[in-house]
Amino acid sequence: MRRRLSISIVALLSIAALLGACSDRRGTAGLPTGPGAADSKVKDDREHERDRARDREHGGRTGRCLDDDELESLVNRVFTSRSPNARSALGKLEAIEKLLDKRNVAAARDIAQNLITFIQDKARDGRLGGTPAQVQELIDGIRCLVGLTTDTFLIYPTDAPQVRLSSDGQAGVFLQGNTVDVPTLITITILPPTSSPLVTKLDQFPSFAELSSSSTLTKPAIVAVCPDPAVPPDVRARLRLGHQATAGFEITPAADASFLTCPAGTVLGPVGNLLKSLASLVLPAPVYAKVMAGGGVGGTATEFSPFGPVDPVLSAGGGVGGTATEFLMIPSPDSAAAGSNRGPRLPTQPRVLVPGRRFNLTVAGVCVSVDAIFGTPLDSACRPVVTLTTRLGTIMQNVPVGWAIGLGGGTAAPEARDTRACGAFGTTASTSSDASGKASVCWILGATPGTNTVKATPTAGGDAPAGVTFSPPHILFTASALPITPTASATGGSFAYSGLGQPGSGTCSDGLTPALSYSSGSAPVNAGSYALTVTCGAGNPLYATVTATATITITPLTVTARPRDRAINFGAPIPVVPCDVTGLLPADAGIISCTTLLPPIPAKGTYTSTPVVTPTSLANYLIVLVNGVFWAL
């Protein structure tokens, strides 16, 4: 059974010229970048044909193709000279030359492939006289003659372990010893870098190519490719070899690909427009770096079919229902497993949403505070959402996401993304990403106030094949289960001084008892202005503590001091005139004294008596002085 191995390799002429790493590489067109991609591909194919024509003139690995005499000599060495097989092979060579003279390259290639198959069949039957090196040289010469790459190798059952590389060194295969039952042709064909042979939504990075074998291998082989130098080092470090197997796409088990020497990194300074076009298609940012040597991207395979580098790390972003807020991507520790194409191990950190002290607040349908009263569900706009994409933003659908309740003891249920309806609630929930790459849950917070958490864990499935890792591997969502917020009211007022406390009043909702406090420490008595504070919910774990304030004003009383009116005969002795104080509360009697001041009485007449008080002012009283009348008759 004939199987094909595709290994694709993107090679850009701008990269080759800039880096000087692959001067003999074929198929150097960039990926299509717009409506002109089809025309670009035709142009690329024509350039590919011209490259192959130059190969016929200048050879493959030796720098030129073998001439007619050299090919005839090889045929006579590989086959017994003048044998029927030799004559048949020479006849096919002559037919190839005639077709090439007529510019019928396609027919010439058909006969060339027939001749190579003829050589393989005779090798399988043990009817070749030449050495394996001579057989390989003859096969290379035939392919070079018709403008095909010389990347076809004849593998014998008795061969020791060996590495076979493409002519440009950008792809290869490591074969174990005794890996075939019969002489087997293995061909590595570099593909034009215009499309990927891999059917997957994972981010794919050049390079691609195709291998074929004329019989089935008996042992796993290590297939490897060189990623394009334009791939950034952080991406290159985590690439894995994708495989379009018969059963479907898979990520191959990582294998040592150090038998390839690949240009790595990016160039110092800006690169050409062609490379920038490539970067805009497959890279997250413009490319800058320098050339470094590095191993390829390798994986083990038991069948030959398309291969190419893929990024196995998916971005698991977290947010809430209607917001654009998502979590930053951090590397998964699983993505730093051992292997030549792995990056360093980095610490895992959960990403959380930190809510404010607001109650499940949404503004225009957008959640701005992830909290709710304990024992109640989050608003639909505040439900946790996981978004699954590749690093370059390709949406990953039908990827399983498991949810587990952590702190707080709440419950979660799968959310239907289209209707926002909730499924069955429990301590765990199972969802999968929808057409927008999102998966979400309904969340009822726990029965007591405090911090609540739920953890989302995506796993392989749907668009995410086995072998992928998620970055971060888990997303932790945090919400606050808030206590009930009661309402409080406070009533103060303005009161005349009475010698008694003026407490004001207050009320609490939810049957709570109000606690009243005063700026004076107790219910105010004396004249002045005081703050009343009413507190509700203090000390009750199920209720938030709220307060209300009011002002209590106590105004002073008016007290009057007035001498009594008196009359005397002129010339009589001047008496002591009593002074009366009125308006004092009984409890305050005696706190003020009053005497009468009389002016000199030089003659008969009417005079004014003046009150004199001690003290001259009181805290709770406003003292009013009223003059009396004194007559000298």
Q: 112 lies in a domain?
A: no
- For the residues 580-586, what does the mean pLDDT come to? 95
Q: Which of 52-56, 72-76, 143-147, 374-378 has the highest mean pLDDT?
A: 374-378
- Other C-beta atoms closer than 10 Å to the C-beta of 517 total 15
Lowest mean pLDDT among 139-148, 473-482, 536-545: 139-148
3-state secondary structure 254-280: EECCCCCCEEECCCCCCCCHHHHHHHH
pLDDT of residue 500: 95
Amino acid at 173: V
459/606 same-domain check: no
Percent of the chain surpassing pLDDT 70:
78
Q: 360 lies in a domain?
A: yes
- Is the distance from CB of 15 to CB of 229 less than 8 angstroms? yes
pLDDT band, residue 7 (cuts 50/70/90): very low
Instruction: Flag whether pLDDT at 461 surpasses 90.
Output: yes
397/322 same-domain check: yes
What is residue 160's DSSP assignment? P
pLDDT band, residue 37 (cuts 50/70/90): very low
Domains held by the chain: number = 4
The percent of the chain in helix, strand and coil, each rounded to the nearest 5, is 20, 35, 50
Q: 148 lies in a domain?
A: no
pLDDT of residue 285: 29
Of residues 119 and 519, which shows the higher confidence score? Answer: 519
Of residues 585 and 137, which shows the higher confidence score? Answer: 585
Lowest mean pLDDT among 76-80, 523-527, 576-580, 627-631: 76-80
Calculate Rg over the CA atoms of the chain: 48
Q: Point out the domain boundary residue: 540, 555, 570.
A: 555
283/319 same-domain check: no
Lowest mean pLDDT among 243-247, 427-431, 483-487: 243-247
Range of the domain at 256: 3-11+154-310
- Cα–Cα distance for residue pair 510/80, rounded to 1 Å: 107
Q: Point out the domain boundary residue: 427, 455, 480.
A: 480
Nearest CA to 460 out of 484, 439, 429, 432 is that of 432
Q: How many helices (H) and strands (E) does the chain have?
A: 8, 39
Query: What does pLDDT average to over the chain?
Result: 79
Instruction: Flag whether pLDDT at 64 surpasses 60.
Output: yes
Amino acid at 55: D
pLDDT of residue 465: 94
pLDDT of residue 362: 52
Of residues 87 and 615, which shows the higher confidence score? Answer: 615
510/564 same-domain check: no
Residue 544 has φ and ψ, to the nearest 5°, of -75, 150
pLDDT of residue 361: 52
pLDDT of residue 23: 33
pLDDT digit string (tens) for 279-300? 333 333 222 223 334 678 999 9
pLDDT band, residue 320 (cuts 50/70/90): low
For residue 226, what are the β-bridge partners?
A: none
Lowest mean pLDDT among 78-92, 259-273, 288-302: 259-273
- For the residues 241-257, what does the mean pLDDT come to? 91
pLDDT of residue 57: 38
Q: Point out the domain boundary residue: 528, 555, 582.
A: 555
- Is the distance from CB of 119 to CB of 93 less than 8 angstroms? no
390/457 same-domain check: yes
- Cα–Cα distance for residue pair 410/404, rounded to 1 Å: 10
pLDDT band, residue 446 (cuts 50/70/90): very high
- Is the distance from CB of 400 to CB of 432 less than 8 angstroms? yes
Q: 79 lies in a domain?
A: no
380/358 same-domain check: yes
Q: 581 lies in a domain?
A: yes
Amino acid at 564: R
pLDDT of residue 207: 81
pLDDT digit string (tens) for 486-527? 999 999 999 999 999 999 999 999 999 999 999 999 999 999
Structure tokens at 35: 């409506």
- Cα–Cα distance for residue pair 232/206, rounded to 1 Å: 12
545/598 same-domain check: no
- For position 158, which CATH number holds? 2.60.220
Structure tokens at 482: 């808030």
pLDDT digit string (tens) for 202-247? 999 888 878 888 889 999 999 999 888 888 888 988 999 999 888 9
pTM of the model: 0.61
319/452 same-domain check: yes
290/390 same-domain check: no
396/295 same-domain check: no
- For position 430, which CATH number holds? 2.60.40
Instruction: Flag whether pLDDT at 97 surpasses 60.
Output: yes
Of residues 531 and 119, which shows the higher confidence score? Answer: 531
pLDDT band, residue 269 (cuts 50/70/90): very low
Q: 88 lies in a domain?
A: no
- Cα–Cα distance for residue pair 491/509, rounded to 1 Å: 15
Percent of the chain surpassing pLDDT 90:
49
pLDDT digit string (tens) for 154-199? 898 999 999 999 888 889 999 999 999 998 889 898 777 777 889 9
pLDDT digit string (tens) for 337-362? 333 333 322 222 332 222 222 344 55
pLDDT of residue 253: 92
- For the residues 585-605, what does the mean pLDDT come to? 94
Q: 143 lies in a domain?
A: no
3-state secondary structure 192-218: CCCCCCCCCCCCECCCCEEEEECCCCC
476/500 same-domain check: no
Q: 116 lies in a domain?
A: no
382/396 same-domain check: yes
pLDDT of residue 628: 95
pLDDT digit string (tens) for 361-405? 555 667 777 889 999 999 988 999 999 999 889 999 999 999 999
Terminal C-alpha separation, the chain: 153
